[in-house]
Amino acid sequence: MNFEGKVVLVTGAGRGIGAAIAQAFAAEGATVAVNYLSNDAAAAEVVAGCKAAGGDAWAVKADVGSADAVQAMVDQVLADTGRIDVLVNNALRPYAFDPQRRKLFGELQWQDYQAQFDGSVGASYNVCKALVPHMQQRAQGSIVNIVSDLVERPVVPYHDYTTAKSALVGFSRNLAAELGPLGIRVNCVAPGLVYPTHGSSATREDFREAIVAATPLRRIARPEDVAGPVLFLASDWSRFMTGQVLFVDGGLVMK
On whether the CB atoms of residues 64 and 70 are closer than 8 A, the answer is yes
Establish if 193 belongs to a structural domain: yes
For position 201, what pLDDT does the model report?
62
Q: What is the pLDDT of residues 16-60, one digit of tens each?
A: 999 999 999 999 999 999 999 999 999 999 999 999 999 999 999
Cβ neighbours around 48 below 10 Å, total? 12
Q: What is the pLDDT of residues 168-181, one digit of tens each?
A: 999 999 999 999 99
Phi-psi region of 54 (alpha: psi -120 to 50; beta: other; left: phi over 0): left
Establish if 255 belongs to a structural domain: no
Q: How far apart are CA 101 and CA 222, in angstroms?
A: 23
By three-state DSSP, how is residue 131 classified? helix
Average pLDDT over residues 251-255: 93
Establish if 254 belongs to a structural domain: no
Establish if 217 belongs to a structural domain: yes
- 25: exposed, middle or buried (Cβ count in 10 Å: 0-12, 13-18, 19+): buried
* Domain hosting residue 61, numbered range: 7-248
Q: What is the pLDDT of residues 71-87, one digit of tens each?
A: 999 999 999 999 999 99
Highest mean pLDDT among 72-76, 207-211, 218-222, 251-255: 72-76
Q: What predicted TM-score, i.e. pTM, was given to this entire model?
A: 0.95
Establish if 91 belongs to a structural domain: yes
Establish if 59 belongs to a structural domain: yes
Q: What is the pLDDT of residues 137-163, one digit of tens each?
A: 999 999 999 999 999 999 999 999 999
Q: For the chain, how many structural domains are there in total?
A: 1
* E strand spans, the chain: 7-10, 31-36, 56-61, 86-89, 141-146, 184-191, 245-248
Looking at the predicted structure, is the pLDDT value of residue 197 above 80?
Answer: no
Q: Known catalytic residues? A: 161
Establish if 115 belongs to a structural domain: yes
What CATH code is carried by the domain that includes residue 98? 3.40.50.720
Establish if 1 belongs to a structural domain: no
